[in-house]
Amino acid sequence: MSEIVLNTVDLSFSYAKGRALTFENLTINKGDHTLILGDSGSGKTTFLNLIAGFSEPKTGIVTIGEQNIYALKESALDKFRAQHMGFIFQEAHLLKNLTVLENIKLAQSLAALPVNEQSIHQLLDKLQLGNLGNRLPRELSRGQIQRVAIARALINKPTILLADEPTASLDDKNTQLVLDLLKGLASAQGSTLIIATHDKRLKDEFNKNYNLAAQ
């Protein structure tokens, strides 16, 4: 029997100006990498924020593993999020005064996990960043920064890896490279990849698609 890693039930969200969004139920099994596809204004980022517990729904439940995340208090949710979720945003949001190694170590510390430099170096090697551990973000190229963000998101072997528009500004060749990298590393780390995007080039790359219609 497949292990369910994410289940959403009756989710809805209301914006301050009164606009409301409702979302179809979504169930994702372990290893079942999933594409959330929708045009601008369809609520992709809002849906990711609800899954992550960054936003509070008007109605509904999000369960990761067996944990209803909305039942957790703020500090407990922060810890759960750090241990079970990885995030890749359009902007990397690396801490500018910390080295590559220090940025990734911080992700382990926030999850209340022991710092494991060997695991960090192994992951950096897979991302062809093995010799850049002591560099600051300003000393890296945009592509290197993106890969550091991927390493930081995956270092704790999260249950789910959430990526928001990771290929939006890339040409076809680099889109395929990033996609293959994300899927391959997520599988290697035992994580289930969920990408939210308007990029229809990705549609045929996933067995499971969840389409959001603009409302």
156 has pLDDT over 90: yes
pLDDT digits (tens, 9 = 90+) for 34-73: 999 988 778 898 999 999 999 999 999 999 999 999 999 9
pLDDT at residue 203 in the model: 87
pLDDT at residue 215 in the model: 43
What average pLDDT does the segment 76-97 reach? 92
How do 4-14 and 20-22 pair as beta strands? antiparallel
The pLDDT-based confidence of 213 (bands split at 50, 70, 90) is low
pLDDT at residue 214 in the model: 43
Place of tokens 């229809």: 200
pLDDT digits (tens, 9 = 90+) for 123-145: 999 999 999 999 999 999 888 99
Q: Does domain 4-212 have CATH number 3.20.10.10?
A: no
| Half-sphere exposure of residue 121: CA atoms within 13 angstroms, side-chain side | 5
pLDDT at residue 85 in the model: 96
Q: Could you tell me which of 119, 49, 42 has the C-alpha nearest to residue 77?
A: 49
Comparing 116 with 171, the larger pLDDT belongs to 116
**23 SS3 class:** coil
pLDDT digits (tens, 9 = 90+) for 173-203: 888 888 999 999 999 999 999 999 988 889 8
Comparing 27 with 92, the larger pLDDT belongs to 27
pLDDT at residue 174 in the model: 83
pLDDT at residue 153 in the model: 95
23 has pLDDT over 90: yes
Q: 78: which residues sit within 8 A by CB, 6+ positions away?
A: 110
